[in-house]
Copies of this chain bind each other. A is one copy, B any other.
Amino acid sequence: MFEQTEKTDIQKLGEFGLIHHLTQHIHIKNESTQKGVGDDAAVLDFKGKKTLVSTDMLLEGIHFDLAFTPLKHLGYKAIQVNLSDIYAMNGTASQVTVSLGLSSKFTLEAIEELYSGMLLACEKFNVDLIGGDTTSSRQGLVISVTSIGYADEKDIVYRNGAEEGDLICVSGDLGGAYVGLQLLEREKQVFLANPNIQPDLEGKDYIVERQLKPEARIDIVDLLKKMEIKPTSMIDISDGLASEVLHLTHQSKKGCKLYEEKIPLDPMTVEQAREFGLDPTVCALNGGEDYELLFTIKQADYDKMKHDVDITIIGYITEESAGNYLITKSGNVHELKAQGWNAFTSTES
């Protein structure tokens, strides 16, 4: 990680000084951004396309733990999780606004770290940072991101378009972000108990990165376009597969059958979950934060994608009255329940 040698108190800069300092090197990349940072509002032009808007809030102690989250990773993730919502509409993300609440413990250099992660994500995903708000916080770090994108009307994919017989597909693999979080939490406890013991994350890069540095799947959106497949419904997996599947089936007024053996799991996720005494399938169903795309396609589109290794078919859509079920490896049938990560219950203490 970046070594902090300078410590500049942000109160010396003031709000306008800080905003200027952070935004002075922003270069606008998108033609749709007519005016970015620096006025009462940004001015955008989508030239007849539909505008897509999504927003997320990340709070210290709820969504992230600065004990094991590098600020640059956190900035990167804050943007990624928000862009993911635009991709889940089958759209192109083009702008973000970022509001930060900063407690006095943050030096200018720390904020620069956070911001550099945000700008890296913007750079990589061709998105302009067009505005925001920066204020002090009496409590912890507060991050609010609104992402804006566009799409042709004919391309937009909602949650409610799944039809009976459609195949349920998921990108990448699931459960890794949750298991990675358990690992980080464990190492934090070990460290707190004895600060001389260094975290043991050797060889666990993949699941740790799934938690700390998720990548929104714009590549899947591009791939589907190339394959000439328009999903019938789509959502991103922020709260766990079970919860997201139920969003699709409820909004589409359908049911589903999922097959446990089809749910894509990375070997490291399986191994680490077992070490913790967790069922890897449960981590995939209820863990959340994988930011993969879950979508349904017409059976007729199956041939176009059957050879793609990064998309897995995990089940199919049924009529609504058939309910929502998971068929386990042993052939048992379980009703799917949304027990995903819940921002309210997670703070029970």
Contacts and interface: CB of A to CB of B under 8 A. Distances in A.
Interface of A: 10-11, 13-16, 18, 34-35, 38-48, 50-57, 59-63, 84-86, 88-89, 91, 95, 97, 99-101, 104, 130-140, 142, 144, 146-149, 153, 156, 158-160, 234-236, 251, 338, 342-348
A61 B348 contact: no
A138 B59 contact: yes
A57 B140 contact: no
Contacts of A59: 101, 135-139, 142
Contacts of A35: 158
Contact of A159 (B13, B39, B153): B39
Contacts of A343: 15, 134-136
Contact of A136 (B10, B15, B346): B346
Given A15-B343, A35-B158, A342-B14, A51 B46 contact: yes
Contacts of A85: 40-41
* Tally of this chain's copies: 2
A148 B54 CA distance: 12
A43 B52 contact: yes
Main secondary structure of the interface of A (DSSP, over half): mixed
B136 A347 contact: yes
Contact of A47 (B48, B347, B348): B48
B344 A53 contact: no
Contacts of A235: 40
Given A18-B344, A133-B144, 11 more contacts: A11-B344, A40-B85, A44-B51, A44-B53, A48-B48, A55-B97, A56-B133, A57-B135, A59-B135, A62-B135, A136-B344
A138 B136 contact: no
Contacts of A137: 59, 62, 139
B131 A55 contact: yes
Contact of A40 (B62, B89, B95, B104): B89
A146 B44 CA distance: 14
A215 B134 CA distance: 23
Q: Which 9 A-B pairs give the minimum distances between C-beta atoms?
A: A139-B139, A144-B144, A41-B54, A40-B88, A61-B138, A57-B99, A135-B343, A44-B51, A40-B85
A51 B45 contact: yes
Contact of A15 (B40, B54, B84, B342): B342
Contacts of A84: 40
A101 B57 contact: yes
A54 B234 CA distance: 28
A146 B55 contact: yes
B50 A43 contact: yes
A14 to B, nearest CB: 5
A75 to B, nearest CB: 16
A251 to B, nearest CB: 7
Contacts of A136: 59, 62, 343-344, 346-347
A86 B152 CA distance: 25
Contacts of A86: 40-41
Contacts of A236: 40
Q: Which of A11, A139, A251 has the most CB atoms of chain B within a 10 A radius of its CB?
A: A139
Given A133-B55, A138-B60, A39 B89 contact: yes
A159 B34 CA distance: 14
A53 B99 contact: no
